Amino acid sequence: MSVFTVEEALSGWYGLLRRAKNDTELLTVYRRLEETIPVLARFPLLTLSASALDEYNRLRALKLNIGPMDLRIAGIVLANDATLVTRNRRDFSRVPGLQFEDWTEIV
């Protein structure tokens, strides 16, 4: 799992915490956040290394019309010679050399 995937997951929970309208909602969101952390910790973490940042900058220069977060994820995957698991075939299919799988696709 990329460090950006973790960032996106936690950002979603932080947004819900900021929008909680009452104590019950706040307690529920914090409980679910607490449950999420050990789940995320089960996966190996792919970090933003210098080589991943180089890949990101190379991809950005290609002007692939893909958002910066997806390009960062692609950079980490390429730098680690890994396979990305995603439903986002539309964007990631434009990244040269990127191996990806869509596990939601019926084979």
Report pTM.
0.79
Residues 31, 87: Cα–Cα separation, whole Å: 28
Asked whether residue 37 falls in the same domain as residue 77, the answer is: no
Q: Is residue 20 part of a domain?
A: yes
pLDDT digit string, tens, across residues 38-79: 999 999 999 999 999 999 999 999 999 999 999 999 999 999
| 60 close to 17: Cβ distance less than 8 angstroms | no
Count of beta carbons in the 10 Å neighbourhood of residue 70 = 19
Q: Is residue 94 part of a domain?
A: yes
Residue 106: which pLDDT band, with cuts at 50, 70 and 90? confident
In which domain, by residue range, is 33 found? Answer: 3-41
Q: Is residue 107 part of a domain?
A: no
Asked whether residue 57 falls in the same domain as residue 95, the answer is: yes
Asked whether residue 94 falls in the same domain as residue 54, the answer is: yes
The structural domain count of the chain equals 2
Residues 62, 64: Cα–Cα separation, whole Å: 6
Residues 95, 107: Cα–Cα separation, whole Å: 23
For residue 98, give the 3-state DSSP assignment: coil
